[in-house]
Amino acid sequence: MRLSFCCTDTDAQPWLDGLRAALPGALVEEWTADSSAADYAVVWAPPQAFFEQQTQLKAIFNTGAGVDALLKLRLPPGVPLIRLDDAGMAVQMAEYVCHAVIRHFREFDVYEAQAAQGRWAPRPPRRHRDFPVGVMGLGALGERVSRTLAAFDFLVCGWSRSAKAIDGVQCFTGEAGFNDFLAASRILVCLLPLTPETENILRRDTLARLQPGGYVINVARGRHLVDDDLIALLDSGHLAGATLDVFRSEPLPADHPFWAHPRITVTPHISARTLRDESIAQIAGKIRALENGEALAGVVNHALGY
Ligand code: NAP
Ligand code: GLV
Q: What is the pLDDT of residues 183-193, one digit of tens each?
A: 999 999 999 99
Which residue has a Cα nearest atom 3 of ligand 1? 139
Q: Say if residue 81 is in the same domain as residue 129.
A: no
Cβ neighbours around 213 below 10 Å, total: 15
Mutate to test the pocket of ligand 1, among 84, 91, 95, 141 (most ligand atoms within 8 A of CB): 141
Q: Which ligand is the nearest neighbour of the Cα of 193?
A: 1
Give the Cα separation of 105 and 98 in Å (integer): 10
| DSSP letters for 264-299 | EEE--S-SSPPPHHHHHHHHHHHHHHHHTT---S-B
Q: What range does the domain containing 225 cover?
A: 90-266
Find the 190 Cα to ligand 1 centroid distance in Å. Answer: 9
Q: Say if residue 17 is in the same domain as residue 153.
A: no
Say which of 147, 221, 224, 276 is annotated catalytic.
221
Say which of 269, 273, 288, 302 is annotated catalytic.
269
Q: Considering the entire predicted model, what is its pTM?
A: 0.98
Q: Say if residue 101 is in the same domain as residue 83.
A: no
3-state secondary structure (DSSP) of residue 140? helix
Which residue has a Cα nearest atom 17 of ligand 1? 161
Task: Quote the number of domains for the chain.
Answer: 2
Q: Say if residue 111 is in the same domain as residue 259.
A: yes
Residue 110 included in any domain: yes
Q: Say if residue 147 is in the same domain as residue 108.
A: yes
Q: Which residues have C-beta within 8 Å of that of residue 101, sequence separation ≥ 6?
A: 131, 133, 149, 152, 154, 187, 189, 215, 217
- Residue 88 CB less than 6 A away from ligand 2: no
Q: Which residues have C-beta within 8 Å of that of residue 209, sequence separation ≥ 6?
A: 179, 182, 183
Q: Say if residue 18 is in the same domain as residue 30.
A: yes
Per-residue pLDDT of 11-64, as tens digits, reads 999 999 999 999 999 999 999 999 999 999 999 999 999 999 999 999 999 999
- Residue 20 CB less than 6 A away from ligand 1: no
Cβ neighbours around 199 below 10 Å, total: 17
Q: Say if residue 76 is in the same domain as residue 182.
A: no
Task: Supply the DSSP symbol for 181.
Answer: H
Look at the alpha carbons of 8, 10, 269, 183 in this order and tell me if their dihedral is positive or negative: positive
Measured distance between the N- and C-terminal CA atoms of the chain, rounded to whole angstroms: 28
Residue 305 included in any domain: no
pLDDT score for 251 = 98
- Residue 66 CB less than 6 A away from ligand 2: yes
Q: Say if residue 104 is in the same domain as residue 164.
A: yes
* Sheet with 133-136: strands ordered across: 169-173, 156-160, 133-136, 187-190, 214-218, 239-244, 264-266
Find the 274 Cα to ligand 2 centroid distance in Å. Answer: 7
Q: Say if residue 116 is in the same domain as residue 137.
A: yes
Q: What value does the mean pLDDT take over residues 224-234?
A: 98
Residue 304 included in any domain: no
Look up the CATH number of the domain holding residue 226: 3.40.50.720
Q: Say if residue 116 is in the same domain as residue 139.
A: yes
Q: Which amino acid is at 296?
A: L
**Under a CB-based contact definition with an 8 Å cutoff, are residues 181 and 188 in contact?**
no
Residue 303 included in any domain: no
Give the Cα separation of 228 and 190 in Å (integer): 17
Find the 225 Cα to ligand 1 centroid distance in Å. Answer: 15
Per-residue pLDDT of 196-219, as tens digits, reads 999 999 999 999 999 999 999 999
Q: Say if residue 119 is in the same domain as residue 260.
A: yes
Instruction: Give the nearest ligand 2 atom to 66 CA.
Output: 4
Quick check: is 99 catalytic?
Answer: no
Q: Is 253 left (phi over 0), alpha (psi -120 to 50) or beta?
A: beta
Which residue has a Cα nearest atom 41 of ligand 1? 219
Find the 136 Cα to ligand 2 centroid distance in Å. Answer: 16
Give the Cα separation of 45 and 68 in Å (integer): 10
pLDDT score for 114 = 98
Q: How many helices (H) and strands (E) does the chain have?
A: 10, 12
Residue 296 included in any domain: no
Residue 297 included in any domain: no
Instruction: Give the nearest ligand 2 atom to 89 CA.
Output: 5
Q: How confident is the model at residue 229 (pLDDT cuts 50, 70, 90)?
A: very high
Residue 223 included in any domain: yes
Q: Which ligand is the nearest neighbour of the Cα of 174?
A: 1
Q: How confident is the model at residue 228 (pLDDT cuts 50, 70, 90)?
A: very high
Q: Say if residue 17 is in the same domain as residue 156.
A: no
Which residue has a Cα nearest atom 1 of ligand 2? 64
Which residue has a Cα nearest atom 25 of ligand 1? 140
Q: How confident is the model at residue 93 (pLDDT cuts 50, 70, 90)?
A: very high
Mutate to test the pocket of ligand 2, among 68, 81, 89, 282 (most ligand atoms within 8 A of CB): 89
Quick check: is 288 catalytic?
Answer: no
- Residue 280 CB less than 6 A away from ligand 1: no
Residue 301 included in any domain: no
**Under a CB-based contact definition with an 8 Å cutoff, are residues 142 and 162 in contact?**
no
Q: What value does the mean pLDDT take over residues 280-300?
A: 97
Per-residue pLDDT of 63-76, as tens digits, reads 999 999 999 999 99
pLDDT score for 53 = 95
